Structures are given as C-alpha cells and as structure tokens.
Structure 1
C-alpha cells in the first residue's frame, strides 16, 4: 500500500510515491488544508464554511462546500469521512507535515522539525480563521527555533549563531529570551564587551517602551558576564614562592587605599606583590589591573602615565569614543570607571610620583599596590619596605628550585650559594636555574664556581653579588645563546617579539626560538605571553654591559630594520589605499613580517607601539621616517594623539635630512593632522602649507595636501573646505590620478550635501560612483551611495534615498566599518520617516543604535529620534 504524505506549510499538496498533487490556491485545496490542520477531529459543516469562506460567506456556501468535498473524495478516495454533522480526515497525523513538526519538537528533534516549517502555514488561505492559526503557530515555531538555539549554544556554536540572533533581536527587540541568547552567543564568541553593551541596549528599551526592568534571568546573566568580563591582568603567580610571611600579613591587614612596596633591585618586590595579588583576588571581584611601568628599564622603555591610563580604560571596556584627548580628562574618566567597583590595581616598577599620580583612582573601593626602588610617598599611602630574604626563607627558595632532596643532601653548599647570592630572590632564581640544568653536578662544585668568579669584592654590594651570579649562569650557556643574551640588552622597548629577536641576532626564527628557550631555562629571560620576551631590568643592564663593540651597531640596525620594514608591511595592509613608501632592501639577517588582514596588521602595530616609540630616536633617518609613517594611521584611529604627534615630529625631522621631497611632504601631511588632533590648528596649518609649497611642480602631491586641509576644516567652514577640494580635483585631473579624482569628487558631494545643495551633491556622487566602480573600490562606492542618499533625501525623493542608504549600509558592513554603517542606517531611518513609514524608520534607527553601541560611539541623537517617533 502506498503511503500518502500531506503538506500544509505553503500550498496544500499530497504526495504518493513519485506522484505529487499540488492543489494550489484552489477552494478544494483550502478545504483539504482546514481538515488536515485538525486531522482526527470532526469539523462541522458550519465551521468549514467559516474557515474556508470567511465571516461573510456567499449564498449557497454549504452547497459549495459539498461540491468541493465531492471533488476531494474523488481525488483522494477514503481520506475524508462523514461523522455525524461534520467531516473528519482519517490519516496518521505523522503523515502531515504540521503534525510531524509537533511530534519532532516534542521528541527533541527540533532541527528536523524546523526543516519542515520552510513556508507559512496554509499560505493560500486568507480568512480570519487561517490568519489566527498562522499567528498561533508562529508562537510554536518561535519556541521551537529558540529551543534549537539553546541546544546549539549548549553545543558551543556561539560564533555561528551571532548573525542569526542579531537578526532575530532586531525583529523582536523586547524579547528577553532572544536578548539572553544573543548575549550568551556574543560572550561565547569572546565578545563579552559587546554582550554587556547589548544588555544595556535592551534594558534601556524595556524602560523606555514598557517601563519595566529586565527579568531576573537576564539580570543574573548580566551579573555573570560582568564577573567574567572583569579585567584579569595579573601576570602568572611566581612559582616557587617562599617566605615573606610578615609582609604578606601586612598586605592582608592594610586598609583599602595605596600600599608602596620599596626595596633594592632583585629583592623580590614584584614577586611579593603578584603572589599576594593572586591570593587576594577574590576580595576584588570587579577585576585586577596590572601594568609594568618599566621605570628602571632602558631609556625610552618606561610606560607613560597616559599610555597606562589608556590600557586600563581599554581593559575596563570604556568605549574609545568616550576617551578625552588630554591626560587630566583620561584620569578623571578612569576614576569614574572605577567608582563603586572593587578593583585591585598593581603598578609595578614605578620610577617616581609623576608616573603614578594620574593612575591613582582615589576611590574607596579600589586598592592600589605599587612597587618601586624609590621611596615614593603618594598621599595617605602605606609604606612597606622590603629587605633581603631571611636566611631560612632563602634556603627554602633555593631548595624549591633545585629539589628538596638535593638540598638536604648538601646543606653546607646550600648555605654557601645563599650567602653568595646575598639572599636576593633574583640571584637565587638564576643560580637555582643553573643548578637545576646540571643535576649530575654536586651542588658544592657550583657553589665553588660562584666563589671563583671575579666578583666585585664588597660582600655588601648587592649589585656586585647579582652580577657575579649572572656571570656564573652565562658561563653555562652555549656560545650562540650567550650572544643572543648579550644582544637582548640592546632592546629599545620593554619586550621583543620572536621575529625581532631573530633579526637582532641575524638568525632565522627557528634558531632564535631554540636559543630563547635555553635562556628561559636559565631564568635569564621570561615569556610573559606567547612570542613576546623580556627580562628583569638588572639582567638587561648586565647583558648590555656584555655586548661587544663590534656587534652592537649591526645588531641594533638589524632590529630597527625589522621594525621599520615590517611596520611598512603592516601599514599598507591596515590602510590599503595609502601610498606605499619606497623602502630599502633589508640588511642581511633581518626578518620582515607579512600580514593577511587588517586585524593582524593593527595587532602588530599596537603590540610593537611602545617599542617603535622607543626606537624612533635611535634609527637612521630612513628607519625613523618609515617607523613614523607606519604608526601615523594606527595611532590616529586609536586616539593615541600624544604619541602620534611625537612620532610625526621625529619622522619629519628625520626625513628632512634625506632630501626626499615626496617622503617629506607625506610626513608633513601626517604632522599637520597630528597637530590638529593636539588642538594646535595654527601649527597644523603651517605644516600643511609647507607641504603644499614643497610639492611645487607635483600636482598630485599638492592635491593631496589640499584634500587634507579640507578634511580638517570644521563644519562652520564647509565653503572653504569645498574650495580646497575643487582645487585638489583640478590638480588630480591635470596629472591623471583617478583615485585622487574619485576622492575629491566624494569630498565635493559630501560638502554640497552639508550645505543643503542637494542637486550638486547628487551630481558629484554619481561622477564619483562611476570611478569607484571602475576601480572596484568597495569603500569608495559605499561613500558615493551615502552621498547619493543625502542628496535624494534633500530633494524629496524618499524611495531613491532609502535605496541608496540601504546599499551604502550593506557595503560599509562588508568593509567592516561599524561607525559608517551606523550612520547609513540612521539616515535610512530618516528617509523612511520622511516617507511616513514609521515602523521601517524605527527598525533602521534601532539598528543604528545597536551598531553605534557596538562601535563604542554615543547613540543619544538616534535614541532621541526613536523617542520622538513614539
């Protein structure tokens, strides 16, 4: 017997084997769909009339129903039976897609169920009963869909679910279950900051539209994510750690405020502070902030207060757009971000009060621990001086490193090593690592080696003792590892990457990795994060002393070559349309990195940012200007305006010595931009005028200067900006630079739109569009569509405006530009509102709020539009 299977999703159909009968939008088909929807239940003739023909059936409606029933019985014999005063379908419900859907949901097979519900229920029947059934089923379908999302979240599909849940959240902005799922998906994708921002969007929407607070479940999820997103910046706890019981007790008992741990280099200040911080972390559930200020490292390696504040603000998920440009404003914002939060702040290796004052929160719930070789005295601070390890603690620390059995076997040798290491933890760590690498040697022999070194006679001179221990450990290194250690003392920044270390030594990356491993086993370098290497500043000073005159200059040149040439590669990937500077061939042995994405390029630039800043004054003129060039766009977009200005001042001074007109002109443009960002408009104008004069006879160079001058004009000088842009366009046309022409036309379209001259805006945007399309330039086309939308909206053509903004938003999305995508959605909402399409306007504005929130931009203006539309 052939089984007949029925569908009611979409049009009604019956399939028997390979044969399918599709009833289409016919009345018999609608009648069959009504009976199939309630399979097994008797439906009266009156109910059939109402369900199929609506509330106002035509005359002879029952006769029409009888006719259709007859046709159906002829087509599908034995399916429909008369029962009393009504009719019933006698079929296994699981042969009907609607009932199979429900069975699959009940048995936990939601993925299969959702595949069945591919179309609208009874889509060809439009009566009040059918509309109500569809509405009722929409709730079932949503519940199944959300249940399936829960299962996928439990299975770890967080990243894959984010786009689907974003779309669903846009459709159902007040649905707290959907909000919770999107928040979970974002958090599981490593985007906890976005998840927390979405919670704030939902909370604000519930308050505005319903006057309600988030549910208990959503609030609990928010608390859990807050805890998960709290910064956990502490470095790894030192292992082993022994002793310091009195100091640990004092740290435990110190009131919340500021504690300053002071002591000589190598005495274990950082180890004590980090060990205690890990032990006390539960007291600070809102996070632990850490920065190594490198106050006693090489010149240029110290972390500025402004850079440290920016790191803390980023760790606290403060949107970059909210961060002021001045240090005082940034410090105030940090205090606001820490208000009412129980946070531990560890400021390691501080040099003076000026370096730490802007970082001190002065809030009653934030506890600050500072380590320094200097007796710093911030207001109301508790001082904790740290002396040498007590003898028993020193012996225990060494035993923990070399093995307690070995230590017990040679107690006299342990005492000798402890004495010759002056009970300094750093010296004991290095000596212990040396002993641990040679377990077959008697410890007494290693102790004798320490005694035989040309130590710096005075036993009370801890620096001399440290250098003796360092010398002892270095003698055990392979010649290649010792050479690399010497060269690491030349690092200009606080740390170095693997490729940088390889370039420094003129080795391939594999060789450098192996040698760094040898140095790490000897406790002479640390790898605080994968691929980044550093060492204690006393070790670095000692390494620099060992460096030989013949190798210093060549090694440093190779490292700076690596930074400059890899920086150029990062710069051209990060900003693809920039003019690539001419670069020299790398010196032999230099590793030049390559980047596949903008994200990779930016990550390298910001990781190496402190090293690049320290290296700028030490490079050749070519190296310095290339390092300044690669930093210009990244520092500008990351709002690091002080470093932007410093880098461009150094780059300009360097490139002026080269006699390269094009390079100098481009650097002056960057300098003009950085001076403008620093609030020095007159000096900015001077730099740009100088660049313009420098490019005399070079129309493309002068045109680029003019476009930059226009870009820096404030809104009350749009007319002046347009004049500069027109001149730039003429020069680009003169030299046939099509990319420059398209940029200038885009600027003209934007400027005329700002002035309300919409016909001109459309004309210039259309000209730009043709050129951007010919170049297949995605962002250029997106900007052209945006300007077209502004023009059409101003001219009253709302349909064309909506189409243009829709296209621009999609292109900005593909380009990954959240702020510009948000702006396009906001203007799309404006176009819909002007056309009287209130709901479409609301959806576009809600999307704009979401995007601006994700980008860390204020959204009050868009929220005001939503409020006004209510």
Structure 2
C-alpha cells in the first residue's frame, strides 16, 4: 500500500491507484493519514474537514464519509474509543516517509517527495495551519541539504537556488549565510561581501537589529579571503640570515632594498620574511617577479605589474587609466587605507620600480635586485655570502644532518668550493642527496677544479662550474631537456610545452623533469608548471647545441600555436576554426573541450604566448594572436589585445591568407577601438572590408563590427551597417551571421525607441538562437525583448524577459552583460511599482559591475534616487 498527502490525496493498493481529488472523502482520508496511528475524535474530524463554520448535521455527514471510506479501503480505518485511526505503516505515507528520510540523513531522497503542497486540495484553518508548519519543516530540510551540498563543494550550482530563497525570505540569516558561502566558494567573493552589506542594511532598517555572530564571523572570513595573498610558497629549507631578518623586522614601513649577487639568496630571504611578517599586513600581500635579469623580453613592465596589483585589489578594469602615471596614482588610492606588504622581486633598475612604489603610510615594500637601487628614502640591506655556520647548516638540511655530522671535513670542503652561495649549495646538495651511497668526500673532490671565488666584499663568482658539476650527474636525456629549457620564450613552461620542446612523450618528459627537480635545477611553483633560476636558465641556454635549438623552439611554438587554437575554439565555439598546419614531429597538442578548460589554459599561457609571438613563424604568430583575441577582450587586457593583433597582422602580411588577414584586421579594429583610437579602428575595418572583397560573409562580419564601434549618437549609422550585413549574410546563407544581425537590429530599434520593431525582430530571432543552442544569443534577445516590453508599457513581461536574460548571461559566463541585465531588471521592477525588488536587482547589478571591472555610477545613482 502507498498513500500520498502531498498534492492531491491518493491511495495505491495492490497496484491499483485511487485518486480522490478535491472530494470530501479525499479530505477525510488526508486528515487521517497526516496523523496516522493517532485517534482523532469525530468533532476534530468535522473541524479539520469542514472548517470552523460547519453545515448542519456535520457529524452525520462525516460518519457517512467514514463508512464510504471504510468500504473503499477495507481494514484501513478503525474505531478507537471515541475516535478513528488509520492503521498503516507510516513509511507507506509520503509525509511520514519524508520525515523518516530526513531524520536518517537521507534528505536528498526526501525532498522530491514534497514537490507539492501538503493537502493542497483542502482549504480549512486546520489545513492551512498544517501547511504553514510543514513549510517551515520543509525549509529546514532544504537548508540542511544545502549545507551538505556546500560541504561537497557544489557552490556555483547552489547560487540560483539560494538567490530565489533569499528573495522570498530576505531577513533569514541562515539563507543569507549560505548564499554568501556559495558565492564565495564559486569565486565571487566581492559579490558575497556585497550580499552581507545588503542583509545588514535590511536587518537594521526593518528590525533595528545587527547581524548574528555567525554571520559576522563569516563576513570577517570573507574579508580575510578577499585580501590578496600573492606570495609564493616559503623556501624550504631556509637557514641563517638572523641579522638580516632582525633588520627587516625593525625597518619602519617604507621601502627596503635587498641587494646582492645572483644566487646569494635575496628572493629566499624576502619571501621567508614576508611569510613570517604576514600577520602585520592583514589587508594582503602583493608579489611580482619582475624578471629583471631573465631572458630578453621576459622582464615585466611597470604597467603590467600595476595592472596585476590593481586587479588583485579588485579595482575595476575600466577605471584604470591608460597612462603609467595615472595607474600609479590609482594604486596609491587603492592602498591609501590598507596595511599591505608588497614584494618586488628581481628588479632591474629604478625606472622599473618607481611607478610601483605607493609610498602610503601603511604599505611596506621589499625589493630585491642585483643592482644597488636607490629609490628615495629607501633602506638598503646588502646581502653577502652566508656565514660559514649557516652555510654548513643549509647543506646539512639538504643532505641530512647524520651524513653531515659523519663527514664534517667534506662538508667544509663543499661549503668552501660553493663559496657559501645558497644557490650553489642547493644545487650541490641536491647532487649529493641523489647519491646517498657515495661518500661526501668523493663528491667534494669532484668540485676541486672550481675556480676560486671572490671574497665577501666583491662577490663576482662564476657559478658555471657548480652547475656543470650537477649536470654531469644527469642522464643524457635529462641534460638535453635542461639545455632546451634555456630556450623558453616565457618565464615558465607546462609539461606539454616541455614535452614538445624535447620532442618526447608526456610520461618520459615528466620523469625527466622530476630528475631535474631532484637536482635542484628547476622548480615547480604550481602543479604542472616549471621554471628555474635565471642564472641556471642562462647557463642552460649556453649549453644548447646549435643543431637542436631551431627545431626545439619550432616544436614549442607549434605546441603553443596549435593548442591555443583548440583553446580559442572552445572558448568561443561560434568562431570559425582557422586552417592550421600539420604539427612538427614530437609536438604535443593539449586537448581542450570546455570553455572552463580553455579559459584556464589561455590565462596560464597568456604571458608565454605574448612572449612567444615575436619568435614564431608567420603562421604560428597569427594563430596565437587569433586565439588570444577573444579572451584578452573579455578580460579587458586591452594593451595586450592591441599588441597581439598588430603582431598577427604583420605576420599575415607575409602569408597568402586573405581570410586570416580579414579576421585579424577585425580584431585589430576592436583592439584600437578599446584603446579609444576610433579613427585608426575605422581604418583597420575598412581595410578588412577590402580584403574580403568577393566574400559576402566576411564583409558582413566587418559591417557588424563597424556597427559596434558606433557611439550612441550614431545609432542610425550603426543600424545601416547592420542591415547591409544582414543582406550579405542572407545572400550566403549564413544563419549564425543572420541571427547576429537580427539581434543587432532588435537592439538598435530599442535604443531608438521603436519598441514594436524591437519586439518584432526579437521574436523573429529567438527561435534561431534556440535552435543553435546559443546561450548568449538567447540572453541578448531576452534583453532586447525586455527593453521592448518596458517601452510598450508591459513591465511584468519585461521583468520576466530581463530575468531570463540575466540567467542566460550567467550561464554563458558574461558577467558584464549579466550586470546590465540586472540593472534593467531593476528598471522593470520600478516601472511595475515594486521598489524593494528594484532595489535588490540594482544592488546585484552594482556587485556584478564591480566584479566585471565596470563602472557602476549610473546604477548607484538609481539606488540613491530610489532611497530618497
């Protein structure tokens, strides 16, 4: 037997289902089932089934229904004393099964049972009271299940559900805490912090109360989590430098410059101290390796370093000026009231660091350099060789203290012949650690041919002999890979990149990289990415054989170019895949299938691709530029967008590829437009139109991009470009292009106030986007429909359209469009007369604008006006 009381009452007996519907018989059965096993008096049955104003002879009516019920379901209802009771296993009733599953921790199984309201067909005071009580019970179960899913890291999937719950119960602090946790866990910490401010304001305005302690504790955790934590891992082992650490501890907030020869341990000292002092700087720690002494082209420019810092401090990208002085001033503003530690590692000269120095009272800057830099009011901390005892301890930590104590003379010999330089000791120690069966004295003897190092006051030691000593212990293949790693165009390399460089398989290359890491010749600062000290890299490049250099570099550039195409296609699936050459033998192409994988790969390889483009063949260079165009535009890296497309255009001018040149000129036009160089952007697009002569689809794409460059006072011109583009797309049967053009026309008519036409074009294009499964296209069309409905005086339809638009943009990952949709949703709610929902939508829009790096002054003005 099975019984339901959620929704309509029904009974399933021996496979036969009886649906009672909104009948009195069904109401009576439902009342008995809800309290199964408990006797209910006849008077109570009358009240529960007929309400507080029962008709005459109500008891007789209930008795009649009881008789019919007992005939319909024999043996189910029994008389007990003066009342009636249902005799059935409670787990056969969906309500009681729900409660059992919740009690036993199986809430995920319980929740689907309560999909409909309890006794939904019975409308009496008793039934309404039971429904209200169960609604609270159900909510608790749902929230318990949310807690379980949060523990399983389902943060992103929970955000829409929790947003809906928070809208219904805006003062519920448990729901607010869960939503804040879900937003933070899905990488939207600034939005999570914003929601805390929203609920705190509501509690104060409506209840005169402050948030509870758990909510305040969560907020503090978010504040800590949102502070930048950019320091690399602390060096292990780290020994000695007690005097220098004390000097760093005692230095007042300002600028400290640690100087010393290469390999003396400047970075290790700075990073070790920074971790030790981190609690003094609760608002965050900023770090950048400026690569001032790395390979040509790898040095980080002051502008790039500033952008990294401003991004880490959540400064909206569109607020960042194009000029260096403006960026430097903005960093000062961002740090004005913060206690932050900044580490500028591997600086080359004062010009590189001066724009990065905020010189705010609570910001402390530690700089490392081989050059004696002298920024104004800086404290100099020259770093000499390790004291003998510290050098011996560092070597012992590398090879094991028991082994060091067993051969103290050999330890002294190694320390002396490594000139007490930490880098040399680390490399030599790693060599000894890999051969524990060898006497340390024998390894020390191998260093006997080292040149004498200079004294502490003039450290100009040549480390090549120490490196050579360790390289001799490598296998032939590991030594070959080490030589080739000196050719890396960027500062680090992936496993697949290293495999392509070597022309070997992934497993073999991974084993070789492990061998190099054991020898302390390379580091793995993050999983799957490898780098090495610039002195080791320079040495490796010197070893590279002329016969292998060109082919190895070509393989690496092939890997970058061809994998970047896979990433570019996955990141923007609607782009036409460019023709690609066959990869050279030994090239590994990383498979990329999802947008998330594409974004992760392009973000990780962005600096390497920018460094690699000038060294590629024309085909390699333009393919890397094509692949970077969309992600750099979406992430607002407009300077690199422009540079990459300029390089790609120059490469394509050496190739016979009109389609590729046309595409890249469009991207160049976009980059010039983003940089505010409107006239140059129009020149690039006119040239693209000429290149595409005889190619209607290509020319149509140019026209749509030209339309997008038009400012708001040239909407009519933009519409004319779009109509011409639509005609060309129709001529060549390009449905995706047609949908883009129709969407542009719907938008344009909405901007011009021609709402009926905007509605017509939106309704025409929606089925096309839906047939293609194009999420962002549907989002844009819902947005255009919302504008049309609002303009036509139908705010309820506009609310629905903007809600759908925002959801599609969220799924499609376009935060800036989602932000705009929420702003428009607020406008629609305001037009519908719902000020509270309007305020909530605008607040969401402000948070999303900030997260996307967009100004939100217009939305903030609406909030301010609404609050007056």
**What TM-score do the two structures reach when normalised by structure 1?**
0.89
Gap runs ≥5 in structure 1 = none
CA distance in 2, matches of 1:364, 1:457: 42
Offset at residue 458 of structure 1 (A): 6.7
Could you say which residue in structure 1 is the equivalent of 2:681?
684
CA distance in 2, matches of 1:427, 1:524: 10
Change in Cα spacing, 1:764 to 1:267, as seen in structure 2 (3 Å) is same
CA distance in 1, matches of 2:521, 2:220: 42
Question: SS state of the match for residue 365, structure 2?
Answer: strand
1:218 to 215, 218, 239: 215
Could you say which residue in structure 2 is the equivalent of 1:141?
138
Could you say which residue in structure 2 is the equivalent of 1:351?
348
Offset at residue 235 of structure 1 (A): 1.9
Per mean C-alpha deviation after superposition, the further-off stretch among 262-271 and 459-468 is 459-468
Offset at residue 69 of structure 1 (A): 5.4
Offset at residue 869 of structure 1 (A): 7.9
Offset at residue 642 of structure 1 (A): 1.4
Offset at residue 736 of structure 1 (A): 3.9
CA distance in 2, matches of 1:44, 1:218: 47
Per mean C-alpha deviation after superposition, the further-off stretch among 545-554 and 151-160 is 151-160
CA distance in 2, matches of 1:493, 1:18: 70
Change in Cα spacing, 1:161 to 1:616, as seen in structure 2 (3 Å) is closer
1:632 to 624, 629, 633: 629
Offset at residue 600 of structure 1 (A): 1.2
Could you say which residue in structure 1 is the equivalent of 2:514?
517
Could you say which residue in structure 1 is the equivalent of 2:529?
532
CA distance in 1, matches of 2:679, 2:589: 39
Could you say which residue in structure 2 is the equivalent of 1:545?
542
Contact 2:665 2:687 in 1 (8 A): yes
CA distance in 2, matches of 1:112, 1:630: 45
Contact 1:94 1:103 in 2 (8 A): no
Offset at residue 197 of structure 1 (A): 4.2
CA distance in 1, matches of 2:77, 2:346: 86
Matched, 1:236 2:205: no
Per mean C-alpha deviation after superposition, the further-off stretch among 400-409 and 248-257 is 400-409
CA distance in 1, matches of 2:695, 2:375: 56
Could you say which residue in structure 1 is the equivalent of 2:423?
426
Post-superposition Cα deviations, 1:437-486, rounded to whole Å, max 9, x if no partner, equal 22333333333322325x48877875543122112222222222222212
Change in Cα spacing, 1:632 to 1:443, as seen in structure 2 (3 Å) is same
Could you say which residue in structure 1 is the equivalent of 2:406?
409
Could you say which residue in structure 2 is the equivalent of 1:279?
276
Contact 1:201 1:850 in 2 (8 A): no
2:482 to 482, 485, 497: 485
Matched, 1:765 2:737: no
Contact 2:672 2:678 in 1 (8 A): yes
Contact 2:3 2:9 in 1 (8 A): yes
Matched, 1:470 2:482: no
Could you say which residue in structure 1 is the equivalent of 2:166?
169
Could you say which residue in structure 2 is the equivalent of 1:607?
604
User: Aligned runs of 1:741-760 on 2, under 5 Å?
Assistant: 741-760=738-757
Change in Cα spacing, 1:593 to 1:204, as seen in structure 2 (3 Å) is farther
Contact 1:422 1:465 in 2 (8 A): no
Contact 2:261 2:460 in 1 (8 A): no
CA distance in 1, matches of 2:838, 2:594: 35
Per mean C-alpha deviation after superposition, the further-off stretch among 606-615 and 438-447 is 438-447
Offset at residue 841 of structure 1 (A): 7.1
Per mean C-alpha deviation after superposition, the further-off stretch among 653-662 and 470-479 is 653-662
Offset at residue 249 of structure 1 (A): 0.9
CA distance in 2, matches of 1:100, 1:763: 51
Per mean C-alpha deviation after superposition, the further-off stretch among 629-638 and 313-322 is 313-322
Change in Cα spacing, 1:521 to 1:855, as seen in structure 2 (3 Å) is same
Could you say which residue in structure 2 is the equivalent of 1:365?
362
Per mean C-alpha deviation after superposition, the further-off stretch among 571-580 and 102-111 is 102-111
Per mean C-alpha deviation after superposition, the further-off stretch among 312-321 and 627-636 is 312-321
CA distance in 2, matches of 1:690, 1:837: 50
Change in Cα spacing, 1:867 to 1:308, as seen in structure 2 (3 Å) is closer
Matched, 1:259 2:256: yes
2:702 to 705, 719, 722: 705
**What TM-score do the two structures reach when normalised by structure 2?**
0.89
CA distance in 1, matches of 2:229, 2:416: 37
Matched, 1:448 2:445: yes
Could you say which residue in structure 2 is the equivalent of 1:718?
715
Contact 1:290 1:345 in 2 (8 A): yes
Matched, 1:294 2:291: yes
Contact 1:487 1:555 in 2 (8 A): yes
Offset at residue 650 of structure 1 (A): 2.0
CA distance in 2, matches of 1:803, 1:554: 58
CA distance in 2, matches of 1:245, 1:829: 59
Gap runs ≥5 in structure 2 = none
Could you say which residue in structure 2 is the equivalent of 1:374?
371
Per mean C-alpha deviation after superposition, the further-off stretch among 582-591 and 208-217 is 208-217
Change in Cα spacing, 1:692 to 1:204, as seen in structure 2 (3 Å) is farther
Per mean C-alpha deviation after superposition, the further-off stretch among 90-99 and 143-152 is 90-99
CA distance in 1, matches of 2:265, 2:293: 15
Contact 2:424 2:467 in 1 (8 A): yes
2:572 to 562, 571, 575: 575
Offset at residue 508 of structure 1 (A): 2.0
Question: SS state of the match for residue 608, structure 1?
Answer: helix
Change in Cα spacing, 1:763 to 1:26, as seen in structure 2 (3 Å) is closer
Per mean C-alpha deviation after superposition, the further-off stretch among 40-49 and 196-205 is 40-49
CA distance in 2, matches of 1:139, 1:331: 54
Change in Cα spacing, 1:98 to 1:473, as seen in structure 2 (3 Å) is closer
Matched, 1:312 2:309: yes
Matched, 1:641 2:638: yes
Change in Cα spacing, 1:151 to 1:766, as seen in structure 2 (3 Å) is closer
Per mean C-alpha deviation after superposition, the further-off stretch among 327-336 and 474-483 is 327-336
Offset at residue 814 of structure 1 (A): 4.5
Offset at residue 266 of structure 1 (A): 0.9
Contact 1:562 1:590 in 2 (8 A): yes
Per mean C-alpha deviation after superposition, the further-off stretch among 234-243 and 776-785 is 776-785
CA distance in 2, matches of 1:586, 1:830: 53
Q: What is the count of residue pairs matched by the alignment? A: 864
Per mean C-alpha deviation after superposition, the further-off stretch among 331-340 and 500-509 is 331-340
Contact 2:40 2:85 in 1 (8 A): no
Matched, 1:385 2:382: yes
Question: SS state of the match for residue 465, structure 1?
Answer: coil
Post-superposition Cα deviations, 1:44-92, rounded to whole Å, max 9, x if no partner, equal 87766555444555555566456545655766789575978xx564768
Contact 1:662 1:695 in 2 (8 A): yes
Change in Cα spacing, 1:22 to 1:548, as seen in structure 2 (3 Å) is closer
CA distance in 1, matches of 2:58, 2:206: 46
CA distance in 1, matches of 2:570, 2:145: 40
1:597 to 594, 597, 617: 594
Contact 2:491 2:608 in 1 (8 A): yes
CA distance in 2, matches of 1:106, 1:504: 59
CA distance in 2, matches of 1:792, 1:115: 36
Contact 2:563 2:589 in 1 (8 A): yes
CA distance in 2, matches of 1:595, 1:502: 17
Could you say which residue in structure 1 is the equivalent of 2:692?
695
1:562 to 559, 564, 586: 559
Per mean C-alpha deviation after superposition, the further-off stretch among 186-195 and 591-600 is 186-195
Change in Cα spacing, 1:781 to 1:114, as seen in structure 2 (3 Å) is closer
Offset at residue 732 of structure 1 (A): 3.0
CA distance in 2, matches of 1:806, 1:851: 15
1:396 to 393, 396, 414: 393
Post-superposition Cα deviations, 1:183-238, rounded to whole Å, max 9, x if no partner, equal 33455566655543443443355456556542222111111233345433322222
